[in-house]
A and B are shown apart, each in its own frame.
Chain A
Amino acid sequence: MNFTEIRSHLGKFRVGIAGAGGLGSNCAIALARSGVGTLVLSDFDIIETSNLNRQYYFADQVGQLKTIALKENITRINPDVFVIVHQKKLDRINIPEIFSGCDVIVEAFDRADMKEMLIETVQIKMHGVPLVVGSGMAGWGKCDTIRFRKIDETLYLCGDESSEASDNLPLLAPRVGIVANMQANVVLEILMKLR
């Protein structure tokens, strides 16, 4: 299958991205470059200088809402992508509404308790919608510990499941980018199998 055919196939689908930080911004860009038709982005945060070490934003976007800036960056790369943005703190009530109609959802939160909340909500209230989770990517090096696990047809995990972010083990562009792009790669694999 050549890229024109792949892009035209991916153009039929809608992917939800929960969080527009290190995972969400980099994953969204990879999906946009590949030609996914519609991206639903949700985040309530504003870009800070400290985000620029790993998140797909530019220094002149500091202070802007992440959703608005990410939509702008996506459009500059691939204007054919339809981008829907929600400036909302996601919770158990609004997640099924915001991501309704999505063919796949990407978990791209920072906090572990939010990851847990999203996984529980999607798996229980949005039965059958595949969810791609990122967990464990702080620090540097250790390429061989980052892995992919398919739990079942609706739950996929990317990351090392052990490196928790902290002051002495910060999040850095390479490992966050690897996991974000691995999540995008899993999304493509799921979408390429759909008719």
Chain B
Amino acid sequence: MKILLNNREEEFAKETISVSEMLALKKFSFKLRVIKINGILIPSEKYDSAIIHNNDNVQMLYLMSGG
């Protein structure tokens, strides 16, 4: 399947993946982040159950301490 991840096209071998699987496959290491799928925010406790489908628009931002 193909998705848009932060406005870039990304391809995955599977039909659908959970947010957790996507983070593992992409080896994203930042501790804290915010993820939206098609404009809907996915709370961190739902990363295992939230499913990303073909053509989904996934937005991710990284949260760093400091302010």
- Which residues in A have some Cβ–Cβ distance to B below 8 Å? 19, 21-24, 108-113, 115-116, 119-120, 123-124, 133-138, 149, 151-152, 155, 157, 159, 161-165, 171, 176
Known: A22-B67, A152-B59, A165-B66. 7 other contacts (CB 8 A): A19-B67, A116-B32, A116-B34, A116-B63, A135-B61, A135-B62, A151-B36
Q: Are A124 and B43 in contact (CB under 8 A)?
A: yes
**A119-B41 contact in complex given A112-B31, A151-B36, C-beta closer than 8 Å:** yes
Closest to B45 in A: A120
Q: Are B62 and A110 in contact (CB under 8 A)?
A: no
Q: Are B61 and A138 in contact (CB under 8 A)?
A: no
Q: Are A135 and B43 in contact (CB under 8 A)?
A: no
Closest to A139 in B: B66
Please give the distance in Å from A121's CB to the nearest CB on chain B. Answer: 10
Q: Are A112 and B32 in contact (CB under 8 A)?
A: yes
Closest to A123 in B: B41
**A23-B67 contact in complex given A116-B34, A152-B39, A155-B36, C-beta closer than 8 Å:** yes
Q: Are A165 and B32 in contact (CB under 8 A)?
A: no
- CB within 8 A of A157: which of B41, B44, B61? B61
Q: Which residues of A contact B66 (CB under 8 A)?
A: 22, 110, 136-138, 163-165, 171, 176
Query: How many residues on B have C-beta within 8 angstroms of the other chain's C-beta atoms?
Result: 17
Q: Which residues of A contact B59 (CB under 8 A)?
A: 151-152, 155
Please give the distance in Å from B14's CB to the nearest CB on chain A. Answer: 25
Closest to A170 in B: B66
Closest to B6 in A: A149
Closest to B40 in A: A123
Complex: how many Å from CA A163 to CA B33? Answer: 14
A and B contact pairs by CB, cutoff 8 A, 11 listed: A21-B67, A108-B67, A110-B66, A116-B44, A120-B41, A123-B36, A133-B61, A135-B64, A159-B64, A165-B65, A165-B66
Q: Are A164 and B64 in contact (CB under 8 A)?
A: yes
**A110-B65 contact in complex given A120-B43, A124-B41, C-beta closer than 8 Å:** yes
Complex: how many Å from CA A21 to CA B43? Answer: 26
Complex: how many Å from CA A100 to CA B63? Answer: 24
Q: Are A165 and B64 in contact (CB under 8 A)?
A: yes
Q: Are A176 and B64 in contact (CB under 8 A)?
A: no
Q: Which residues of B contact A152 (CB under 8 A)?
A: 36, 39, 59
Closest to B42 in A: A120
